[in-house]
Amino acid sequence: MPVNLSAPDPSKLFPVAGVRIGVAEANIRKPGRKDLTVFLLDEGASVGGVFTRNHFCAAPVQLCRQRLDERQPIRALLVNTGNANAGTGEDGLRRARDTCEALAALLNIRPAQVLPFSTGVIMEPLPAERVVAGLPAAIADAQPDHWARAAEGIMTTDTVPKAVSARAMVGGAEITITGTAKGAGMIRPNMATMLGFLATDARVDQALMRQLALELAAGSFNRITIDGDTSTNDSFIVIASNRAANAPITALDSADGQALKRAMLAVARQLAQAIVRDGEGATKFITVRVEGGKTPDECRRVAYAIAHSPLVKTAFFASDPNLGRILAAVGYADIDDLDQTKIELYLDGVHVAAQGGRNPAYREEDGQRVMRQAEITVRVHLGRGSAADTVWTTDLSHEYVSINADYRS
């Protein structure tokens, strides 16, 4: 059961001019499943991306990186579920190239103008022939208002499709932003999430797109964790179709650039949080906020130590205010000169620990009350500076074990 998350209302997902989406059933792993999605971009779109830092990155990630580095004018994204095409060596690269070539031939573009994405089981050969056989149906299905279908088409263990839209005034014109993402396990994105696609019709210089993708990921997908496992396939793509009437954005730190980033970040953050809300076996949505650090980096380290601790996560699952486990995680977060007598811990508004020990005014029933909520903020103050950072995570439940013990069967 996802935490306060329901499927998007298709009528509230705005089309992005210049982007059409088609979905098909290609029987890649299981029959009767929407498992193939194409994003078709009109000529002139700006595209940037960030990808997993996992050295075992999948074949499609390798091709995406290469094609974006070469500044190829991207015209299509090809996404399959059911198979990650990771841990598949040279053969995997060849199969990924084959699918791009097939799509390029059907669209009369060059293969290097196609970005491939795969998600699913690792270390099994991609059934490229089924992907290729499904392409005509996916292309025939392509429409600008198919974002809800895209959100379904890229799901794996997700229980709810994830898509978000927004409109904003940027550079003197209204622009539209719509995005979709998938992911529920193997989530500790490092540069990006499992798969995230964010499009706007705004006019944005191609030269800004990589940096834009990096900055958006830093404030959204790079601040979430479910199980601490950084995937082999994490990919986050930002598209600007350049069809809106805004004054073209040529610098991200300009007023217009900042307005665009703010609007896009709000959408990216909702998508990232949706991944956490739909985290495998999640029953709680936990915000971990660490303040009073010397640097944001050390705050993030402490936040991730808390967010990854199986003992903290099982205590949240049990609604048990066994909050010493949070202090223990703060203590092993590898901050050399941490002074435990400066640590303050809050659970929502409840002041649990003061000066590194139990707050004398803390009453167990107050902790218990907060722990029963579906959404909880853990706030730690390190008492050594003014930096802060936030990550979002879930609890660890029986259901997580069941899902991951049974995933392939």
The residues assigned a catalytic role are 193
State which of positions 113-152 bind a second copy (CB under 8 A): 121-125
Contacting residue, 330, 350, 371, 376, with a second copy by CB under 8 A: 330
57 or 79: whose CB is closer to a second copy? 57
Q: Contact 382/302 with Cβ under 8 angstroms?
A: yes
The torsion angles phi and psi of 198, rounded to 5 degrees, stand at -130, 120
Q: Does 335 bind a second copy (CB under 8 A)?
A: yes
Q: Does 297 bind a second copy (CB under 8 A)?
A: no
- Per-residue binding letters, 172-191, with a second copy (x by CB under 8 A): -------------xx-x-x-
Distance CA 199, CA 46 (A): 10
Give the shortest CB-280-to-a second copy separation in angstroms: 9
Q: Does 54 bind a second copy (CB under 8 A)?
A: yes
Give the shortest CB-34-to-a second copy separation in angstroms: 23
First-last CA distance in the chain: 21
SS3 of residue 136 by DSSP: helix
Number of residues that bind a second copy (CB under 8 A): 69
CB neighbours of 167 closer than 8 A, spacing ≥ 6?
14, 174, 175, 176, 177
Contacting residue, 157, 232, 287, 394, with a second copy by CB under 8 A: 232
Sheet holding 19-24: strands in order across? 19-24, 36-41, 76-83, 114-121
CA pseudo-torsion sign 67, 68, 69, 72: positive
122 or 224: whose CB is closer to a second copy? 122
Give the shortest CB-154-to-a second copy separation in angstroms: 19
Hey, what are 266's tokens? 């709000």
* CB neighbours of residue 116 within 10 Å: 29
Binding site for a second copy (CB under 8 A): 53-57, 84, 86-92, 121-125, 185-186, 188, 190, 227-232, 308-311, 314-315, 317-318, 320, 322-325, 327-332, 335, 338, 340-341, 343, 353, 355-358, 396-398, 400-402, 404-409
